[in-house]
């Protein structure tokens, strides 16, 4: 009874993670992988220079790579995970949706579009209903759901918890892992013994996507949260795991204990990839740390620690695995929500 799924852009860093996460998935069966034209026709093991630190899943290795084209994907595939470069995604995703495929996309295009749900299942599952608006407006049989940027996902679960105290203003500084830029994104000469205080477009994504995620959907329209978010993004020599320093100003003045309780109270969902707890709270102020804590909950948990209350608001640190919870796993989890909510 499992759903046949495919991965668009399966050979890249996020695509490979997606293949890894789908291996042995209880609800999804990998049936198709696509990549750029030059890889089409090769076996997946030939086309993907596999770099994940677990062996390439046998069910994926022998799949023939297809072109990233609706006609090239079998009709019995119902759900597609897209980790295409955003430029390519912008061109091809609408065609897939028109052809009836449901897409859970990690690509950054259209994340802010009025009729595209941007979803973290444990945080704003109700936004998925925006798909009715989308289908109405676009005349699609299929659908496109987006997950947010990796650095945004890392902080929004905690911000959502703090919104119970009236979230007003956020400062966030990120220490982002190199895998966030893809396999060739950051050269070793750039980053060894270094840090780079700029990631193009990232600050804006954090500011806009978080307000959409925290916004309200009234059944017809999605209004953004009016919290003011200001981000400063850095690349550091870490392989996986984005660490973020957050200051959140709230209308109320919660105590450290109330903040930690609010973090712990964010509920996980009854979906295969939703970890329990969703937010792991550390007492030790030196945690979370990327290398030690990025694989909590199979890489799907968010870790928080160092909670302080200061004149500048609630101050804390948060961490998530950027290519699992922040990308491939986010897309898979959205796929699980799509299935559970009956969109397939």
Question: Is 242 annotated in the active site?
Answer: yes
The answer to whether 78 touches 314, Cβ cutoff 8 Å, is: no
DSSP letters along 293-320, please? HTTGGGGT-EEEEEEEEETTEEEEEEEE
Q: Which of 75, 198, 261, 267 binds a second copy (CB under 8 A)?
A: 198
The CA distance from 240 to 129, in Å, is 32
CB of 242 to a second copy, least distance (A): 10
Q: Active site residue: 150, 225, 233, 321, which one?
A: 150
List all residues 6 or more positions away from 46 whose beta carbon is below 8 Å from its beta carbon.
none
Q: Which of 171, 258, 340, 341 binds a second copy (CB under 8 A)?
A: 171
CB-nearer residue toward a second copy: 2 or 255: 255
The answer to whether 262 touches 165, Cβ cutoff 8 Å, is: yes
Q: Which of 76, 197, 220, 252 binds a second copy (CB under 8 A)?
A: 197
Question: Is 18 annotated in the active site?
Answer: no
Site string for a second copy, 310-339 (x = CB under 8 A): xxx--x-x----------------------
CB-nearer residue toward a second copy: 93 or 203: 203
Phi, psi (5° rounding) for residue 293?
-120, 0
- Report which secondary-structure segment, H or E, holds 153: helix 150-162
CB-nearer residue toward a second copy: 230 or 255: 230
The CA distance from 34 to 63, in Å, is 10
Site string for a second copy, 211-250 (x = CB under 8 A): -----------------x-x-x-x-xxxx---x-x-x---
The CA distance from 252 to 35, in Å, is 50
CB-nearer residue toward a second copy: 109 or 174: 174
Q: How many residues bind a second copy (CB under 8 A)?
A: 55
Which residues lie across from 228 on neighbouring strands? 169
The CA distance from 172 to 316, in Å, is 10
List all residues 6 or more positions away from 162 whose beta carbon is below 8 Å from its beta carbon.
248, 250, 254, 259, 262, 314
Binding residues among 44-73 for a second copy as defined by CB under 8 A: 51, 53-55
16 binds a second copy (CB under 8 A): no
Active site residues: 150, 242
Question: Which residues would be at the binding site for a second copy (CB under 8 A)?
Answer: 13, 51, 53-55, 169, 171, 173, 175, 178-179, 183-198, 228, 230, 232, 234, 236-239, 243, 245, 247, 285-292, 295-296, 305-306, 310-312, 315, 317
């Amino acid at each position: 009874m499992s759903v046949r799924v495919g991965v668009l852009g399966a050979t890249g860093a996020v695509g490979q993670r997606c293949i890894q996460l789908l291996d042995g998935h209880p609800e999804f069966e990998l049936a198709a992988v696509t990549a750029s034209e030059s890889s089409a026709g090769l076996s997946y093991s030939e086309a993907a220079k596999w770099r994940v630190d677990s062996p390439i899943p046998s069910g994926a290795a022998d799949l023939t790579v297809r072109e990233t084209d609706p006609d090239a994907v079998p009709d019995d595939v119902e759900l597609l995970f897209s980790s295409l470069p955003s430029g390519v995604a912008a061109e091809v995703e609408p065609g897939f949706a028109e052809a009836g495929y449901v897409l859970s996309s990690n690509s950054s295009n259209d994340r802010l579009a009025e009729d595209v749900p941007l979803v973290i299942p444990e945080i704003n599952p109700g936004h998925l209903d925006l798909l009715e608006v989308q289908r109405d407006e676009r005349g699609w049989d299929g659908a496109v759901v987006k997950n947010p940027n990796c650095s945004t996902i890392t902080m929004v679960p905690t911000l959502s918890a703090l919104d119970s105290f009236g979230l007003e203003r956020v400062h966030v500084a990120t220490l982002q892992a190199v895998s966030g830029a893809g396999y060739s994104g950051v050269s070793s000469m750039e980053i060894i013994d270094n840090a780079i205080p700029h990631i193009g477009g990232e600050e804006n994504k954090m500011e806009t996507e978080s307000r959409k995620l925290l916004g309200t959907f009234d059944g017809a329209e999605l209004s953004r949260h009016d919290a003011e978010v200001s981000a400063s993004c850095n690349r550091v020599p870490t392989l996986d795991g984005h660490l973020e320093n957050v200051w959140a100003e709230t209308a109320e003045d919660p105590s450290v204990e109330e903040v930690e309780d609010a973090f712990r109270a964010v509920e996980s969902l009854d979906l295969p990839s939703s970890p329990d707890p969703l937010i792991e709270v550390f007492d030790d102020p030196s945690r979370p740390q990327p290398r030690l804590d990025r694989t909590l909950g199979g890489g799907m948990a968010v870790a928080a620690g160092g909670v302080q209350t200061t004149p500048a608001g609630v101050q804390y640190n948060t961490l998530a695995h950027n290519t699992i919870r922040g990308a491939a796993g986010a897309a898979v989890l959205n796929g699980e929500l799509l299935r559970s909510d009956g969109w397939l």
